[in-house]
Amino acid sequence: MNKIISFPHISYYYIPIRYIIRNITKCEILIPESNSLNTVSIGAKYSPNDVCMPFKYNLGNYINALNRGANFLIQAGGGCRYGYYAELQEQILKELGYNFKFINLIKNNHISIIKLYNEAKKINNKLLFIEYVFYLIKGFLIIVFMDKTHKYIRENQALSINPKEYKKAFQILKIAYSKDKLSILKIIKIYINSKKALKSIPKKQNNNNIKILIIGELYTLMDSTANNNLENILIDSGSIIYRYTDLTYLLFKKKFARTKILKTSRKYLKYTLGADGAESIAHAIEHCKKGIDGIIHIKSYGCVPEINAIPILSQISKDYNVPIMYLSYDGENNIANIDTKIEAFYDMINEKNKKNNTYF
Ligand code: SF4
């Protein structure tokens, strides 16, 4: 039987994940259909009632992949409740009658690269450790370069005369990184060319774009389907978006940032809040000090660490006189009247800026 491996979606990261898994296992990789309301409603149908939204999306992805022929599933989400999804998801899918092997890469609630090597070696016994490390490095480089490019787009697209060119450039980058064979040099060249293309897009002469910080729960922040395309709606309406949570931050920076996070937020916090709750607070403070115009806090419905952050964020909003809007997504319904909510939020920002003109 051919081994067909699949894993859940989160944003554009299926590209580097596919690259790593394909090259270390030499198996066929099946990427689930893109996230949609259908994905989450299928997942929700078989999920426990009170489980948070990423669980439902993941389960919907797995069911889609299994129905299309996948027979190996990978779970690598860690931290918070995410780290305990794997066992429950495997049990639900087995009870639904699917026949597959489930690979859980989580150890002590975090992804283990040694576990990944051991599992890959069981599938591809010719895999050398050095070869594995090499593909891992290349996959990580793709993650870092995609994140850097996306950050540039979030912070510059609204300043452009031709915003469509930004979307086109990111699409080209995605296609270029979707190949099976990529040397380190090629990975770097693709990024440099993409950056050059983006920087050559002409910008408006004058701009007084509103600057918004988006903080909150990681899945809702990073996956555009999970947040009903919030970033693009804001960028299309002329805002510059600041968001620090991406896979580069979660994999490489988060564990070194703890002391700084607690130091920045010491007026409001003594301990971390679990998941990214303390990060939300520290980044809100940092950006308020720099003169951000507004903050949007987003989360999955029922996300406890981010619920704990909300009263503190409201206090920070008052202390720094920066408007804040809270959005909670259950994944099954679009947030009602989102355009009206954003309009009201912009009105608050404009009103505040009339009185107090502070920019970065
Ligand atoms: S951070 Fe929130 S949404 Fe994410 S797994 Fe934890 S509780 Fe669920």
Reported as a single tens digit per residue, the pLDDT across 134-155 is 999 999 999 999 999 999 999 9
Find out whether the beta carbon of 215 lies less than 6 Å from any atom of ligand 1: no
- Identify the pLDDT of residue 333: 60
Coil/strand/helix, residue 2? coil
Question: Mean pLDDT across the stretch 99-118?
Answer: 91
To test the pocket of ligand 1, the residue of 215, 303, 308 to mutate (highest count of ligand atoms within 8 Å of its CB) is: 303
Question: Mean pLDDT across the stretch 245-249?
Answer: 96
Going from the C-alpha of 17 to that of each of 13, 14, 73, 294, the distances in angstroms are 6, 5, 13, 34
Mean pLDDT of the chain: 92
- Identify the pLDDT of residue 205: 77
Find out whether the beta carbon of 81 lies less than 6 Å from any atom of ligand 1: yes
Find out whether the beta carbon of 250 lies less than 6 Å from any atom of ligand 1: no
Question: Mean pLDDT across the stretch 268-294?
Answer: 90
Find out whether the beta carbon of 212 lies less than 6 Å from any atom of ligand 1: no
| pLDDT > 80? residue 322 | yes
Distance CA 197, CA 182 (A): 20
Query: What is the residue type of 59?
Result: L
| pLDDT > 60? residue 339 | yes
What length does the chain have?
360
| pLDDT > 80? residue 77 | no
User: What atom of ligand 1 comes closest to residue 302's alpha carbon?
Assistant: 7
User: What atom of ligand 1 comes closest to residue 81's alpha carbon?
Assistant: 5
Distance CA 199, CA 182 (A): 24
pTM greater than 0.85: yes
Classify residue 230 by burial, with Cβ atoms within 10 Å: 0-12, 13-18, 19+. buried
CA of 218 to the centre of ligand 1 (A): 8
pLDDT-wise least confident of 19-23, 142-146, 222-226, 327-331 = 327-331
- Identify the pLDDT of residue 334: 59
To test the pocket of ligand 1, the residue of 49, 80, 301, 310 to mutate (highest count of ligand atoms within 8 Å of its CB) is: 80
SS3 of 79-148: CHHHHHHHHHHHHHHHHCCCCCEEEECEECCEECHHHHHHHHHHHCCCCCHHHHHHHHHHHHHHHHHHHH
- Identify the pLDDT of residue 130: 97
CA of 173 to the centre of ligand 1 (A): 30
Instruction: Please name the residue whose Cα sits nearest to atom 2 of ligand 1.
Output: 303
Percent of residues, the chain, with pLDDT higher than 70: 97
| pLDDT > 70? residue 43 | yes
Find out whether the beta carbon of 309 lies less than 6 Å from any atom of ligand 1: no
CA of 82 to the centre of ligand 1 (A): 6
User: What atom of ligand 1 comes closest to residue 77's alpha carbon?
Assistant: 5
